[in-house]
Amino acid sequence: MKENAFKAECNKCFALCCTALSFERGDQFGHDKLAGQPCHYLQADFRCRIHAQREALGYDGCEAFDCLGAGQRASALHAGENWRNDPAIARRLYASFSLLMRIQEMRQALDTAAELPLDAALHEERQAC
């Protein structure tokens, strides 16, 4: 599998982690945010206004989150669509992002499993699944 198949490329994404996902105020996030609503620190260019200070301001969850490359894939699928002004398109974009995150997690698990030092019988069983 490609070396960077699971690398998030935030510069190729519509900041879907900051828009599509929800989070609750607590140890990881400094405020509540509903799914589908942009974080109030997200700028129009999809950049974070507090990026350099996230940890100091209580946004460790942002620092820890990794979409495994699902964000840029979903953004590429919906490039050119007017998702900012059309709630139906935005819902499709967010659904694509959610599905691609699960797919990337499964792909990463399969990639990891392929590297396990298994005996021949277990290796055949893994491939049969």
* pLDDT for the residue 127: 77
Say how many C-beta atoms besides its own lie within 10 A of residue 14's C-beta.
23
Q: Rounded to whole angstroms, how far apart are CA atoms 72 and 24?
A: 24
pLDDT digits (tens, 9 = 90+) for 52-95: 999 889 999 998 999 999 999 999 999 999 998 999 999 999 99
CB within 8 Å of 71: residues ≥ 6 apart: 8, 9, 10, 12, 13, 14, 15, 16, 17, 97
CA distances (Å), origin 41, targets 15, 46, 51, 63: 11, 10, 9, 14
Return the structure tokens found at 97. Answer: 């992002």
Non-local (6+) Cβ contacts of 15 within 8 A are 38, 42, 46, 47, 48, 71
Rg (CA), the chain: 17
Instruction: Give the per-residue pLDDT at 70.
Output: 97
- Domain layout of the chain by residue ranges: 10-128
- DSSP summary character for residue 5: T
Is the pLDDT at 1 greater than 70? The verdict is no
